[in-house]
């Protein structure tokens, strides 16, 4: 499909800065009106996932995946869940391994290309209740997971998965890691590394002698962290191998359900290669919308409903896709 350069998003006054867009929701946004029911689901490898559901007894379910070191309580996740509920969707917010408030049970944790856990969540969700259809929504890292899953499965995607939306997805991980490692993003990087360091310390208590944080202060960016931790813990030979194999971009041509990628042109975390114009132009099921502003998982809006533009846009796309695809039996 053609790339959507003329997006409907217009930032509020004084919110055209990508850094304001990125930081403001994380620090100041509150999202009332969401009540979760948590369930702990075992994974095939002996670990577990914490899933938080907000249901309105709907016939359709949206599965929401958060970003790096996020969780279901982040404002962007709660905001999307609330918008979905308002429009007649049940919502299930996934907490990646170790992100639900308790360390996970295995030495490994989660990474940008881990689609096995998403498959497990889909299997669990469809086994618990008879839904007419599912949608997938992923933010940042979670967006890359959604895109990679859809591309890996292609026409063999689970028959109930009928649409997807990603927001600020780093679909080309290597260049994206370099982008966030730029000097202008130093404060963001320090925050991510601080949170990841806490995760490593938790692992050290559970698995003494198998992982350590010796000289962690020498880790300056994602290349350092992924080389030392992410790659060996998840079966990759190094950071480059991880980034290459976990990136969703090579899989985009295979996506077979209506999928909307929303990424702001001024996103400080994305490289130019994370805007896959060629792939979107060659796949009738892939829509790439590039607002000029929005930062990383920002898209701030002020209105009586308390909804951000990304939530209104995502749910509008899902409603269109629901009508477009009909029922799975059609």
Rounded Cα–Cα distance for residues 285 and 273 (Å) = 20
Q: Is the dihedral of CA 263, 264, 267, 270 positive or negative?
A: positive
What pLDDT does residue 326 have? 78
What pLDDT does residue 42 have? 96
Name residues whose C-beta falls within 8 Å of residue 68's C-beta, 6 or more positions apart in sequence. 112, 140, 141, 192
What pLDDT does residue 325 have? 85
Neighbours of 43 (CB within 10 A): 17
What pLDDT does residue 128 have? 85
What pLDDT does residue 1 have? 60
- The whole-model pTM stands at 0.97
3-state secondary structure of 93: strand
- Choices 3.40.605.10, 3.40.50.1820, 3.40.50.2000, 2.30.30.90: CATH for 18-179+250-325: 3.40.50.1820
Nearest residue to 111 via CA among 199, 182, 22: 199
In angstroms, how far is CA 109 from the centroid of its own chain?
A: 16
Rounded Cα–Cα distance for residues 170 and 245 (Å) = 13
pLDDT along the chain (330 residues), means of 10: 88 98 98 97 96 97 98 98 98 98 96 98 94 98 98 98 98 98 97 97 96 97 98 98 98 98 98 97 97 98 98 98 71
């Amino acid at each position: 499909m053609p790339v959507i350069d003329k997006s409907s998003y217009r930032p509020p006054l004084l919110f055209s800065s990508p850094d304001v867009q990125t930081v403001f929701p994380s620090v100041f946004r509150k999202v009332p009106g969401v009540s979760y029911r948590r369930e702990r689901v075992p994974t095939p490898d002996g670990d577990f996932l914490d899933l938080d559901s907000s249901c309105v007894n709907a016939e359709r379910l949206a599965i929401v995946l958060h970003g790096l070191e996020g969780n279901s309580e982040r404002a962007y996740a709660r905001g999307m869940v609330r918008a979905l509920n308002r429009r007649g969707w049940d919502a299930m917010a996934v907490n990646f391994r170790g992100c639900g408030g308790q360390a996970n049970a295995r030495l490994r944790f989660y990474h940008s290309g881990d689609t096995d856990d998403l498959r497990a969540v889909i299997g669990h969700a469809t086994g618990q209740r008879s839904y007419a259809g599912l949608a997938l929504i992923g933010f940042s890292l979670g967006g890359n997971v959604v895109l990679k899953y859809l591309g890996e499965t292609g026409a063999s995607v689970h028959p109930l998965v009928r649409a997807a939306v990603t927001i600020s997805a780093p679909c080309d991980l290597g260049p994206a890691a370099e982008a966030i490692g730029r000097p202008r993003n130093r404060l963001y990087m320090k925050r991510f590394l601080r949170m990841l360091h806490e995760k490593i310390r938790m692992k050290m208590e559970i698995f003494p002698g198998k992982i350590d944080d010796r000289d962690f202060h020498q880790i300056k960016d994602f290349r350092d962290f992924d080389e030392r931790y992410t790659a060996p813990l998840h079966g990759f030979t190094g950071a480059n191998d991880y980034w290459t194999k976990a990136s969703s971009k090579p899989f985009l041509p295979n996506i077979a359900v209506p999928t909307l990628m929303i990424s702001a042109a001024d996103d400080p975390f994305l490289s130019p290669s994370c805007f896959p114009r060629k792939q979107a132009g060659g796949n009738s099921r892939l829509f790439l919308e590039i607002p000029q502003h929005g930062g990383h998982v920002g898209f701030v809006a002020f209105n009586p409903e308390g909804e951000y533009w990304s939530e209104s846009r995502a749910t509008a796309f899902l409603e269109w896709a629901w009508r477009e695809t009909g029922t799975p039996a059609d």
